[in-house]
Structure 1
């Protein structure tokens, strides 16, 4: 591995378990990369009595977890996928270009902080087990409702693969839904928005004031 400061097996491997052609061996390694390294190249080599196998993969360290109370939109995310254009920071999701959304708003009330997305979307943040609560207001943004009432989505919050909350169907007429969740011990927080009416149009959804309180 290039650029790593430490790499060690997280659990023992059992090569004797591979006894027949096509059998698999799975093991886990713990990697600690330098803080200054944006990524590192992992190269694994396996040798048998007859063959030698080599495979490489790019390893990217997680962003630093929050050290104080604050908005998620001020933190670097781990990953972000979006159904229409990019995920917007402190703006509603607009069209295909970055920064083309309007201020986040529900029924005329604007919010300076948040994330603008469009179903299907998923934004992942590294909390590193340091946060205690996550609060937000999520709903169909005025950007959509001013054009059509057809938007309908569902917001899901997951922590380390476990579903913490699934909202009822979100519509412009129904307004946003407040979120207040215990996220104690959660390492990775997933903010997911799914389409709720089998139509992808006008599903512009905003996570307003997404805030984490640290332990």
Structure 2
């Protein structure tokens, strides 16, 4: 370790992403919801409820300013249980235009997929949900229990 690097490591802390304001958001239907699904219900993926997170709808994009002081995002992603038989999305996380996490195709009835994104040195982070090219019907996407590590 370099002299003085211990101080930088010790000041890093993990906090819920929902405590940080986003700088902009786009959403395929209705506004992005804080700690609720897109329909206003508790966030629930395959029977597991989450107190904190973001409810979105494909296509969505949420932008956060990082200022180069964050190192990682950890989050469970999936389609909310409020959806019936439809819905297919892909969750992606971008750091300054570079994709740093991708869930692959997620459909109704799948358990949450845990994503970890490297944000080291990034000025901006964008969690994105795509509709996988088949339209956005029932694409209720949950970013559940998101935690961010920053100094």
Point out where structure 2 has 5 or more consecutive residues left out of the alignment.
1-11
Counterpart check, 1:116 vs 2:55: yes
Alignment of 1:46-57 (within 5 A): none
CA contact (8 A) 1:81 1:121 kept: yes
5+ residue gaps, structure 1: 1-66, 95-100
The normalised TM-score by structure 1 is 0.62
Q: Which has the higher contact order (CA 8 A, sep 6+)?
A: 2
Which protein is bigger by CA-based radius of gyration?
A: 1
Contact 2:24–2:62, Cα closer than 8 Å, also in 1: yes
Q: Hey, what's the Cα distance between the residues in 2 that align with 1:197 and 1:125? A: 25
Q: CA RMSD in A?
A: 1.3
The number of equivalent residue pairs is 140
Query: Any runs of at least 4 consecutive aligned residues in structure 1 with deviations exceeding 6 A, and if so which?
Result: none
CA distance in 1 between counterparts of 2:142 and 2:134 reads 19
Q: Are the aligned partners of 1:113 and 1:208 in contact in 2 as well (CA < 8 Å)?
A: yes
Deviations 1:82-113 (A, max 9, x none): 1110100000111xxxxxx1010112211000
How far off is 1:133 after superposition? Answer: 1.4
Name the structure 1 match of 2:94: 158
Between the aligned partners of 2:136 and 2:125, the Cα distance in structure 1 is 24
Shift of 1:68: 4.5
Matched, 1:74 2:19: yes
The structural deviation recorded for 1:200 is 1.5
